[in-house]
Chains A and B, each alone.
Chain A
Amino acid sequence: MEHKLNVFDEKIERQVDNIFEVINNLVDLTNCSNLWFFGNEYDGLSSVNFWYVGADKRLNEFAEYHSENQGIGEKLTADMLEIDQLLIGQGDRPFRQILINYTVNDDGGIPKISLDYYDWPEIGFPLFAADNYYKSVTVGEKYVKQSDRRVVHEMLAYVNAQENNS
């Protein structure tokens, strides 16, 4: 990821905790030690997702497109947009991707936040390929469908080339 964010702002921290609370209220996280929240914000098109690998090694994933999950998606989207607004208020540039890794314990989730600014469609990748990219870098490419892996490899190659240039 391009940019690691240390949470120092109380309001941002509250939103980040809120995302965890929303998920924790809805999903049984007793078998989850690492939860990943991913938000994608692109010119008013936004999407959110979250996932974790369970004790049975299977990937558990949120499905925003299921009509009954719309409310949860909307809630999480609003939290993500608010984090973006708060960062902009601090003089930061708007992010395009936000990844939050919660280390889950009995008391809640300890967040680590990363922000990216990749303009995937401009670079030549489908906007929604980002989901697979972040799944691949967080829990491993075996959790990405075989047919989607080629695109993920190309995205990784692009990111590596960028990082070597900088």
Chain B
Amino acid sequence: MNMKFRKVPFEERLHEEINDTFRFLNTSLDLSDIGHIFYWGQVYGNSKSVGYWYVDETTKIIVDSVNGVNYILFRRMIAEVSMFKKMFSDNNMKPYIQVLIDFDMTGSQVIANVTFDSYDWRKLDFDLESVWDYYRVETVGSEYLKNGDNLADVNKMQEYAAEHDETLHYQVVVDDFRSN
């Protein structure tokens, strides 16, 4: 007999998953000198993409999971994409495609600004590299892109997003794990 899962209200599950996401980023990475870390995930049919990035305040260089991430951290990031997907389907909500979390660590508490969107970039003919760059530009600005190859695409995507609001925003106060 398959196990019956508890139905947890959306806000409660969101709080748990956001906390989990911050907890594993914080255990795997040294976040002590970082103002913001961004977690990004995409679920497109059965395929999932994930990543994180932040700006190193001293070097002003973007540190990016594209350059390699430990396997367990990768599995954990992928797991959250699926957990968010389940959270949406459990609550009969329209599935999201991209999730972006800005963990703001500049204050006394860690605040997570969460955006789920359902922009179908693939259908609109943007490749994954442009999609990545779009979310990087949206969060840290185009000056941190390693090259400007996708900037024209990014601008088109920004125009599209300005005309079509397909986003959901939530703010979650993260339980304090920073001292761990």
Contact = CB atoms under 8 A, between A and B. Distances in A.
Interface of A: 25-28, 50, 58-63, 66, 68, 70-72, 74-75, 77-78, 81-82, 85
A87 to B, nearest CB: 13
A28 B83 contact: no
Contacts of B8: 25-26
Nearest to B80: A71
Given A61-B2, A66-B2, A71 B86 contact: yes
Given A77-B75, A81-B71, A25 B1 contact: no
B89 A62 contact: no
Interface of A is mostly: helix
B4 A28 contact: yes
B6 interface: yes
B14 to A, nearest CB: 13
5 contacts: A66-B2, A74-B76, A75-B76, A81-B71, A85-B72
8 closest residue pairs by CB, A with B: A71-B82, A74-B79, A71-B83, A75-B79, A78-B75, A78-B76, A63-B2, A60-B3
A41 B3 CA distance: 23
Interface of B: 1-6, 8, 16, 20, 24, 71-72, 75-76, 78-83, 85-86, 89
B77 to A, nearest CB: 9
A63 B3 contact: yes
B167 to A, nearest CB: 22
Nearest to A85: B72
A59 B4 CA distance: 12
Contacts of A61: 1-3
Contact of A26 (B5, B75, B82, B85): B5
Contacts of A28: 4, 6
A78 B79 contact: yes
A27 B1 CA distance: 14
B16 A25 contact: yes
Contacts of B75: 74, 77-78, 81
Contacts of A66: 2
Contacts of A71: 79-83, 85-86
A28 B8 CA distance: 11
A119 to B, nearest CB: 22
B76 A25 contact: no
A82 B72 contact: yes
Residue among A28, A61, A71, A82 with most chain B CB within 10 A:
A71
A81 B72 contact: yes
Contact of B1 (A26, A59, A75): A59
